[in-house]
Amino acid sequence: MEVSDHAEYDADMARTTLRITYDGPALRDGTMEVRDLAPALLAMGRLLEDANRVVNGPKSQVAVRVTAGFKPGSFSVDLQTIQSFAAEIRDLLAGDTSTALANLWAHLGFFGLSGSGLFVLLRKLRGRRPEKATILKDGNVELVLPGGESHTIPKAVFDLLSDEGVRRSAAAVLEPLTKEGIDEFIARPAGAPKTDGVVITKEDLPSFAPPEVIQAPIVTNERRAAFSIVSLSFQDDNKWRLYDGRNTVWAKIEDQVFIKAVNEAEIAFSKGDVLICDIREEQYETTSGLRAEIIITKVVEHRRAFRQVPLPFDGPFDGAR
């Protein structure tokens, strides 16, 4: 986690200490499994490095060193954060490099009372994806969520929110909370009052799941297919659970004429009904691997389920015989 010395960087560096604490019944004796702590500490190092890259650019580097700092009844680690700047950037800051480091912590949510840092914002969003982001005249960014709720945040926090590396490191820092008996993560400057910093609980974990980054489709295939209906959806995403004779799949319905008829009860469905559809199959490369999606572009025919058993016979059939 330490950066190597480089002649371009001035020896006048900002040094501050961040205290991170994991708390819960499993840590009451002041010990913690190294298999849980080590990956989380490495993730914190990556998080600070990635966040510094996003906020301060390539002319600034951060090194993280572990120092002693234990609190009875929980497990705390002090991380000495050392920030160095290229000489020309230091001159622009008029020597006050500690301000830039404090700002970095504030943008992450580890310092200050503004409540607009990344960790605080993710907890507020609760996994919801903003529908719109607008840069305001004062340089801040307004996020509009589904339903019209809005949050105004600094541009630097928006940049952190949008960075895949930062989001993945933030999730990894909280990984110990998935363990039984570890319930809280606390981050604040060493010696700061309890009103500073951020507290994340086990219940907050879903809010920090890193987003799946989806690239453009790498394979697209259009064809006609038949499906029986497993379950319908009247949600906004219009995804239905269907069966193609071999597998149960989720398919998104893009045929708005069909959707309108369903919503207005012009079409009724029974068990065993079959939809004959024009579909588009798309395969994506994502951060978690290959993903396939089925999109129904047009419902060509709604075929009712059989109500009689078809029997082969030749000629008129007299049921009385």
pLDDT tens per residue, range 72-104:
556 788 777 776 654 443 433 334 445 667 778
3-state SS class at 280: strand
Report the alpha-carbon distance of residue 64 to residue 79 in Å, rounded.
6
- Single-letter amino acid, residue 246: R
Mean pLDDT, rounded, for 201-227: 85
Report the alpha-carbon distance of residue 228 to residue 248 in Å, rounded.
9
3-state SS class at 106: helix
Give the pLDDT score at 93: 37
Which pair of tokens denotes residue 298? Answer: 């047009």
What pTM did the predictor assign?
0.60
Report the alpha-carbon distance of residue 173 to residue 237 in Å, rounded.
32
Concatenated DSSP letters of 185-231: EEEEETT--TTSSEEEEGGGGGGGPPPPPB-S-SEEEEEEEEEEEEE
Q: What are 242-256's pLDDT values in tens digits?
A: 999 999 998 989 999
The answer, yes or no, to whether residue 6 has pLDDT greater than 50, is no
Q: Is 320 exposed, middle or buried (0-12, 13-18, 19+ CB in 10 A)?
A: exposed
Give the pLDDT score at 294: 92
Percent of the chain with pLDDT over 70: 76
Report the alpha-carbon distance of residue 85 to residue 79 in Å, rounded.
19
What's the angle, vertex CA 150, arms to CA 194 and CA 205, rounded to 5? 50
What is the number of other CB atoms lying within 10 angstroms of the CB of residue 196?
16
Short-list 78, 104, 106, CA closest to 19: 78
- Which stretch of 5-14, 28-37, 64-73, 162-171 has the lowest confidence by average pLDDT? 5-14
Higher pLDDT, 124 or 195: 124
Q: What are 105-133's pLDDT values in tens digits?
A: 888 888 765 567 899 999 988 888 888 88
